[in-house]
Structure 1
Amino acid sequence: MRMIGWMLAVALLAPGAAFAQVSDPAPVYVGGRAIAVEGGYDFGWPGVYFESRIEGQGVRVRFEAPAEYMRLLVDGQERVVFRRPGQVDLTLNNLTPGQHVVRLEKLTESQSGGGVFHGFYALDGGTALPLTPRARQIEFIGDSYTVGYGNTSPVRECTQEVIHDTTDTQQAFGPRVANHYGAEYRINAYSGFGVVRNYDGHSPDLSLPVIYPRLKPDTAAVPAQDDSAWTPQVIVINLGTNDFSTPLNPGERWADEAALRQAYQTRYVAFVHELAAAQPQARFVLMGSDAFYADVERIAAAVNAAAPGKVTTLKFGDLDHMACDGHPSLADDARLATLIQTHIDGLGVWGQPN
């Protein structure tokens, strides 16, 4: 694995002016939510990725990511990992002749900020090709477990900087499941957030359902943008850990845990109904640990009473929690991915993995 910072990227790997390239960027598939802006896409959600196809022996990539870790792949092979690179204008001119798929993917979580993707460009003599998105689509909605919070860390005790640097959403259970099925995916997850209550009661006016419609987690205004091509066959939700993992504090709006659990169930049912109205073709998988699985079962029963068979539940446990702050490790992510895959296989939504 090659890891480069801002100065090295510019000095050694970005002699863009030395190579002619096609003036317009190649058509790009955006995996995840992003805001279309002049000259690119403003992104912030975990796990976002950008893919294009080119024919030729070289490609140029341009993007900005002041605080993120980003990975560049060509034909599925990692070429560069950028660590807080800032502005990047990078040219790879040593590709074998022929067609290539180039991909830039976001590894870290940015609850504010994010980056801007400007595009992939075929070098002079090359050709930008159309890219056909995969037919299978799957969405993951959740919290830090879905983000992959500190999942590559070998220890539990982590500073905020280490948490950031060791988070790799692309190795969390969601992308693992999507890659198993050859599916496009979206990760709409935010560490510390729950359905009605966030970790230790912070940010009481916000929650995952509140920020879910946003094209960036920190951008409340949602620009009008065509999203009709996103029709996932499966939506996997894992929310509840933050609602119940810390005791209620004085002044919070629930009188006791029983009231909190009732509010959680009521809002969760409404959230699934909202999602189902927008994505009527989707099957829903609601995940839960021992701490809130009984609530999840009640939520599923309530949804299925109105829409039979729309929702199934999936209990998880037996994790080593060896990553930052006791979060799931890479080994746990692999276990969770296998658990989810087995469950999806049982739904009969898809046949064999692509």
Structure 2
Amino acid sequence: MRTLTPPRLPRLARWLAAAAVAVCTAAGLTVLGAAPAGAVETGTWYRIVNDHSGLAVSIQNGSTAAGGVAVLATASNATSQQFRFVDSGSGYYRIQARHSNQVLDVYAKSTANGADIVQWADNNGTNQQWQVNTQSDGSVELVNRNSGKALDNWEWATTAGSRVSQYDRNDLESQHWKLVPVEGGTAGNGAVADPNLQYYGRWNTNDAAFYTMGWAGGYVESAFTGSSIGVKLRGAIDMYYSVDGGAETWMRNVSGNVTVKTGLGSGTHTIRIGFREKAGSYTGDPAFGGFLLASGGATTGIARPANFIEFIGDSITVGQPNGNRPFTAYGYLVGDNLNAGHTQVAQGGACLVSTADGCWGMMDWFRRTSMASTGDDWNFSRYRATAVVINLGTNDVGHGVSTVQFQENYIVMLERVRQAYPNAHIFAMETFRGRYSPETQATVNARVGAGDANVHFVDTTGWLPDASDLVDSVHPSDSGHLKIANRLTPIIDQYL
């Protein structure tokens, strides 16, 4: 888990070293550098209260729409006044609104004094990144990375509803903000719509009672208090869980109200749950109805990581046929290695190209919530991947896709991923059997030549040299997936 308990032990020592690096102290109107140690805690919800007016930053009328305006309001416990700081690296943070999961954004990337501050889907743009500088009076100055200007109480207002804007840094009280922790955050009840629950991957939320996991590798996390934790399920499913960062543990073929763990001590705990993917002859019901809390227990806020990695592929990316997928699959391992959110938008038998004989072409299907979708129904604003890993081409040969067709369509795939995630690094992996390798590399070169420098070819030659690395002629074993993860992790890490 992240933030509220010691993180999962990473599988490479490099990540432990990176996690131990301290940040530098800044004060007053110093040159922008790393955020001051202790200025913010990424697992804490705050009200952002202006020193001059005593009013708090709030999203106007509690709007959840992109473009909702940040204004000043009388301080309250409304979740539209609660914000947490999500680490963007290099001493910058995104400031996430609790009620909407969107972040404070200088509208249209303006660098002008007086520009509106709004909420917007998190894309980690520099106009969404803020430096936190501690002042001598214990307040903070919040400086936008794109504009270099400070969050400002426009025209020294003292009335609720007044604008929040940006202005040249001046070290005056209109730009001094107290970060007031929300006591324990707002206690949640564990229901599916509880804002303390964090969903990773593609989830269909049309049913207000049960959210359904689409594709593979989706999971839910929360922090909670109380002596026990359970899960509300619908139909029978193989579910895994991890409490307080422990090893993933299966509960096979469970349904209804399921007790996961009892006898927990006092304090705050964390839980992650996920499901086996619905595929082939397995028809389990990956429907989540919320967490079941002990009497007196409650959920509390848990921070989302700065990075999110989406893995697009076929059965290899799912982790099939290995019994402990998804958490032994390379994508899941890489995500946890990097302490990033992650998901596997993948399906056994998938191709890159949709074919007449029925192969699912992920160049089309990755735009959908699940394999049950009948159209391009996924809303990409629900999360923003900072990295996308594509591993496709193993199955296209068997469906008559020519090398020319493959290359032409791979270019379309890369263009579509770029449209979905404008700022992500995209990694096109060579298939482990080397199929369409020249064509995959050529598409990357074409995109780079067209000006997209954030597309990378991953040469996987020699990654699985031993017979024990495969369970058959195609699919990696658990030990093979671990080898892949240990090769892929440092490649992605250098770009995040």
TM-score, structure 1 normalization: 0.77
State how 1:148-227 maps to structure 2 within 5 Å: 148-151=319-322, 166=323, 168-196=325-353, 202-204=357-359, 206-221=360-375, 223=377, 225=379, 227=380
Aligned counterpart, 2:387: 234
One-letter amino acid of the structure 2 residue matched with residue 73 of structure 1: S
1:113 to 1:126, Cα distance in 2 relative to 1, 3 A = closer
Instruction: Confirm or deny that 1:276 pairs with 2:428.
Output: no
One-letter amino acid of the structure 2 residue matched with residue 210 of structure 1: D
- Matched residues, number: 297
Q: 1:104: Cα distance to partner? A: 0.7
The answer to whether the 8 A contact 1:45-1:188 is kept is: yes
Alignment partner of 2:212 out of 10, 34, 42: 42
One-letter amino acid of the structure 2 residue matched with residue 264 of structure 1: F
One-letter amino acid of the structure 1 residue matched with residue 223 of structure 2: R
One-letter amino acid of the structure 2 residue matched with residue 242 of structure 1: N
One-letter amino acid of the structure 1 residue matched with residue 362 of structure 2: L
Q: 1:106: Cα distance to partner? A: 2.0
Q: 1:78: Cα distance to partner? A: 4.2
What percentage of aligned pairs have identical amino acids?
A: 24
Q: 1:87: Cα distance to partner? A: 3.1
1:90 to 1:273, Cα distance in 2 relative to 1, 3 A = same
Distance 2:370 2:344 in 1: 12
1:280 to 1:49, Cα distance in 2 relative to 1, 3 A = same
Q: 1:213: Cα distance to partner? A: 1.5
Q: CA RMSD in A?
A: 2.4
State how 1:55-70 maps to structure 2 within 5 Å: 55-66=225-236, 68-70=237-239
Q: 1:65: Cα distance to partner? A: 4.8
1:64 to 1:80, Cα distance in 2 relative to 1, 3 A = farther
1:79 to 1:276, Cα distance in 2 relative to 1, 3 A = closer
One-letter amino acid of the structure 2 residue matched with residue 100 of structure 1: H
Aligned counterpart, 1:263: 405
**Cα distance per residue 1:109-145 (max 9 Å; x no partner):** 5366642100113221122212221111111101111
Which has more radius of gyration? 2
Aligned counterpart, 2:306: 135
1:194 to 1:288, Cα distance in 2 relative to 1, 3 A = same
Q: Which 5+ residue runs of structure 2 have no aligned equivalent?
A: 1-187
Distance 1:298 1:188 in 2: 24
Q: RCO (CA 8 Å, sep 6+): is it higher in 1 or 2?
A: 1
Alignment partner of 2:483 out of 335, 339, 345: 335
Q: Which 5+ residue runs of structure 1 have no aligned equivalent?
A: 1-21, 152-165, 249-253, 255-259
Distance 1:317 1:107 in 2: 30
**Cα distance per residue 1:282-310 (max 9 Å; x no partner):** 01110013222111111101111223312
1:109 to 1:337, Cα distance in 2 relative to 1, 3 A = farther
Aligned counterpart, 1:296: 440
Distance 2:399 2:418 in 1: 32
Aligned counterpart, 1:19: none
One-letter amino acid of the structure 2 residue matched with residue 89 of structure 1: V
Q: 1:180: Cα distance to partner? A: 0.7
Q: 1:326: Cα distance to partner? A: 4.0
Q: Secondary structure at the match of 2:291?
A: strand
TM-score, structure 2 normalization: 0.56
Aligned counterpart, 1:310: 454
One-letter amino acid of the structure 2 residue matched with residue 316 of structure 1: T
Q: 1:313: Cα distance to partner? A: 0.6
Distance 2:211 2:410 in 1: 31
Distance 1:272 1:263 in 2: 14
Larger fraction in helix = 1
Distance 1:189 1:110 in 2: 11
Q: 1:45: Cα distance to partner? A: 1.2
Q: 1:219: Cα distance to partner? A: 2.0
